[in-house]
Amino acid sequence: MEKNSKIYIAGHTGLVGSSIKRILEKEGYKNLIFKTSSELDLKDKIATEKFFLKENPEYVFDAAARVGGIKANSEKKADFIYENLQIQNNIIHSSYKFGVKKLLFLASNCIYPKHCKQPIKEEFLLTGPPEPTNDAFAIAKIAGITMCQAYNDQYKQNFISVIPANLFGPNDNFDKENSHFVAALIRKFHESKLNKQNVTLWGTGKPKREIMHVDDIADACLFLMQKYDSPEPINVGLGYDFSIKDISELIKKIVGFDKKIIFDETKHDGIKRKLLDSGKINTLGWNPKINLEDGLKETYEWFVEKYRE
């Protein structure tokens, strides 16, 4: 991939897509193309094919998806599986049809079985059912990986799939109903600070989570686009995790929250651990760079700047 290569970033306004856009611009890639969802509906096969025919991208980063938290995933399963299948089907097929040299498909760590040996190796995929609350989204992402592999096998394409750890960072979704774990905590601590209230969190705080700044996954995606050509999916994570209690205490410190954190142990903890084995990408020469506290500080500063009551 050269600095003047024509590169399409699908989902460039989202958490990962916007970070990929930033890193490509920083590294001097000048021929970037992207469209907002109002300009191009990637669920529309004809519109997507017209876009690929007109723009003729050489490389594609597919970070476009409908995403959400546990509530949205469990209550709108039909929307999640339909929209994500449509989006990725159209992007992957159009990439084949219009001669894209290489495509990177962004999956999700929720594709792995609910009860999975830790740390999670890539070969554990499809060895058991995913977590029921987000199985529709997970199955769509599994289909995307399988589709990339099928096009590689049948049509000799170079379509790769990346499975990231839980992500956070600037441009995350902080919506009360649809945000992910870290974004939800940041908003909760911030609002509780303003309202001078204690923070109550579900469970014991003992479960562990691997959380990675979004700029690390963007850096890894650029690295893999240059260095990785295998049809097998590849994990990208830190290689270590933190307890929910420790993450909460760190966010409390960063926000400047001075009240109590109360863990409601009558509520379920959820999955005890979900740690990716990132040995494959580490062997290739990539490692994460962003310190957790630094990343959370940057994210909180971004949130405060954009936050509206």
Contacts for 240 with CB less than 8 Å, ≥ 6 apart: 210, 275
pLDDT of residue 309: 53
> For the chain, what's the residue count?
309
φ, ψ at 270 (rounded to 5°)? 80, -160
How far apart CA 82 and CA 299 sit, in angstroms, is 31
308, pLDDT greater than 70: no
Torsion of CA 163, 168, 174, 176, to 10 degrees: 70
How far apart CA 288 and CA 280 sit, in angstroms, is 13
Task: Please report how many Cα atoms fall inside a 13 Å half-sphere around the Cα of residue 228, on the Cβ side.
Answer: 27
Q: Are 264 and 245 in contact (CB under 8 A)?
A: no
Q: For 44-70, how does the pLDDT look when each residue is reduced to its tens digit (9 = 90+)?
A: 999 999 999 999 999 999 999 998 877
Helix, strand or coil, per DSSP, at residue 208:
strand
233, pLDDT greater than 90: yes
Helix, strand or coil, per DSSP, at residue 243:
strand
Q: Are 257 and 192 in contact (CB under 8 A)?
A: yes
> pTM for this structure?
0.95
Question: pLDDT category, 178, cuts 50, 70, 90?
Answer: confident
The two beta strands, 102-106 and 59-62, are: parallel
Q: Which two tokens stand for residue 185?
A: 């905590």
Bridge partners, residue 167, by sequence: 212
Mean pLDDT of the chain: 95
Q: For 198-209, how does the pLDDT look when each residue is reduced to its tens digit (9 = 90+)?
A: 999 989 999 999
What are the structural domains of the chain?
7-172+211-239+275-291 (3.40.50.720)
Average pLDDT over residues 122-141: 95
The two beta strands, 32-33 and 7-10, are: parallel
How far apart CA 181 and CA 174 sit, in angstroms, is 10
Q: Cis bond leading into 119, ω under 30°? A: yes
Task: Please report how many Cα atoms fall inside a 13 Å half-sphere around the Cα of residue 122, on the Cβ side.
Answer: 18
Is residue 268 left, alpha or beta, with left meaning phi > 0 and alpha meaning psi from -120 to 50? beta
Question: pLDDT category, 266, cuts 50, 70, 90?
Answer: very high
Element (H, E) at 41: none
Question: pLDDT category, 101, cuts 50, 70, 90?
Answer: very high
19, pLDDT greater than 90: yes
Contacts for 253 with CB less than 8 Å, ≥ 6 apart: none
